[in-house]
Structure 1
Amino acid sequence: FIVSKVEDVDPATIDKTSDFEALGLDSMDRVQLLFDAEETFGVTFDNDEVKNFTCVGDIVDYINNNQPAEKPPEE
């Protein structure tokens, strides 16, 4: 999981309710986390919305709601 790349956290201990502060993520870690998520999932985070993100689930929900549609295969 991307969070474990940013901070030395056991992925098995992370779920949607995991709070960023409880995971030891500071503001720079959060920026890196969002950058990695954008690269991995092809989304662009809205700066106004990310200010309200407090837990992993906020990022997961945003990605699920804003992921680009898959392109149909070319024939």
Structure 2
Amino acid sequence: MSETVQPVSSAPQESVEQRVLRVIAVTRRVPVETIHATSTFEELGIDSLDRINILFELEGEFEIEIDDEQAKQVTTLQQMIDGITLLLAAKAAKEASA
């Protein structure tokens, strides 16, 4: 009889976008419904300290390292989602070749 293995994440089927929006909502203490991929950091009232906290949380959520200089150039949540998607693809390719 095989056992069901519980996923590490509480919501393993969430897309990258859903996970990013959830992390931002939790960090900003706002309902996730009020945050959209098209939102800018400015529209959400996210300052530089908030950005640092969000990046830290995203690195933990996705088990990746986000380059600080590249992160400074990101102005919208969609850019952040796209960047994380690329980092995850690079991580998967590296792990597959190892």
Q: Give the equivalent residue in structure 2 for 1:29.
A: 50
The structure having more radius of gyration, on CA atoms, is 2
Q: How many residues align?
A: 72
Indicate the percent of aligned positions where both proteins have the same amino acid: 32
| Root-mean-square deviation (Å) | 1.6
Structure 2, unpaired ranges of 5+: 1-21
d(CA) in 1 for partners of 2:84, 2:46: 19
Large movers: runs of 4+ above 2 Å: none
d(CA) in 2 for partners of 1:6, 1:30: 10
Structure 1, unpaired ranges of 5+: none
- Could you tell me how far 1:10 is from its partner in structure 2? 1.9
State the structure with bigger RCO (CA 8 A, min sep 6), 1 or 2: 1
- Of Structure 1 and Structure 2, the greater helix share is in 2
Q: Give the equivalent residue in structure 1 for 2:66.
A: 45
> Normalized against structure 2, the TM-score is what?
0.66
1:10 equivalent among 26, 31, 36:
31
